[in-house]
Each structure stands twice: as structure tokens, then as C-alpha cells.
Amino acid sequence: MTDAEVFPAPVVLWSHPEGQRAGKPLLVLLHGYGANEQDLLSLADLLPGDFTVASVRAPIAMGPGFTWFPLTASIDYSLERVKKASAYVLEWIDAIRPGHPSVSLLGFSMGMAMATTLLRQRPTDFAAVVGLSGFAVDAGDDPTFRDAELDGTVPMFWGRDQQDPVITQDKIEFTMGWVRKHVKLTKVLYTGMWHGINQQEIGHVGEFLTHEVLNK
């Protein structure tokens, strides 16, 4: 049984009508814990218009919103549940990938955990990754995370506030070690943003995507 049969069919909001999506680089938005597909879509208006932007809803209902995988009270998670969620997103991406010259990922908070997981499972599939106020999961020696194939050439933007009250220090430390070894990193620290996104950061993300994806 595939994850598409276990989870509901993906709910996706798009920046362009169906007839105007093909042929443009695709940017997939992955929201945070307890949010939904509407949460990040407004970013599409602030990012380069050359992209087709797709905002995907996580498959598990959580309060008024949705989550990619369950969290415990200590913000811990099951790696197997992370893998089920990533398989769900990859199945959807594989279905639409042929219509686009490239696919990039942008994840906020838990969505950054998803975006980096997708990259680690498909090291050659993505043009760039943007992670905002989030983390990468500690996958141990799980063979589906192909970190050894990430040689530092995939561009990644990581923006965060050092005073972020949500992402725990152990997750920051693991992510710091991982990004330094495996991606071409652009890392920017912001103040007064806490666990959020601000206009300055989105400006930097737009410059990053223009340079690393559109101008290649």
C-alpha cells in the first residue's frame, strides 16, 4: 500500500492557474506544524514571479491545522513517520515534475525538516532548498537518507533568529553540523523575528533563488 492510499489526496494551492504553470521552475512550499497550505502562499507574491509556486497541505489533521508527522511534548518525532510524510510528498512531486525544468523546496519550521529530508532522500532531484526557522532531522544511519551523495553542491538558504523559542538547541546543533558537511550554504541570522519570517528574510530568499536557480 502506498502512502497516497494511507493519506488523503494532496491538497495544493497554486500561484498560477493550471494553464500557466508548465514550463516554469517549480517552488514547493512546505508549512509548519499546525498550519495549512494557505499559511505560506502569500510568500509567492514576494518571490520572483518566474516560479510556479505550489503550497502543499500536510496530510495529518492537527487541531485547526495539519502536521507532516506527530510531535511529542518534547518536540521529538518518529523517523518512520517522517519517512512516510516524505514519501507522500515525493509521490506528488514525481507526478508533476515533468512539467517543470527544475524543482526547489521552501520549508518553514517543521516544513524545513521536510524539505531537507526530501533532499537527503533524492540528492539530485532539487535545484535549491530554502529552510526558514527550522531544522534537519537526525536520521542516524538510516540508508534512505543518502547524505553521502550530497557533496556540497546543492545550494541551501537557512534563515533563523538565534532567539527562536521553538526550535530546541539540540536540533540547531545537529542541523549546523549537517549543513556544513552536505550543502552549499547561505546562512543568515535575523534579530527580532523569533519563530517567524520577516520581510528582510524574504528579500534575501528572493535574491538567493534568483541567483541559484533562475540565473543558472
pLDDT digits (tens, 9 = 90+) for 157-169: 999 999 999 999 9
pLDDT digit string, tens, across residues 24-83: 999 999 999 999 999 999 999 999 999 999 999 999 999 899 999 987 655 567 899 999
DSSP state of 65: E
Taking the C-alpha atoms of residue 97 and residue 52, their distance in angstroms, rounded to an integer, is 12
Residue 129 in contact with residue 98, Cβ under 8 Å? Answer: no
Taking the C-alpha atoms of residue 206 and residue 44, their distance in angstroms, rounded to an integer, is 10
Averaged pLDDT, 117-140? 97
Look up residue 163 and give its three cell numbers: 532567539
Averaged pLDDT, 88-105? 97
Return the higher-pLDDT residue of 38 and 1: 38
Look up residue 138 and give its three cell numbers: 537526525
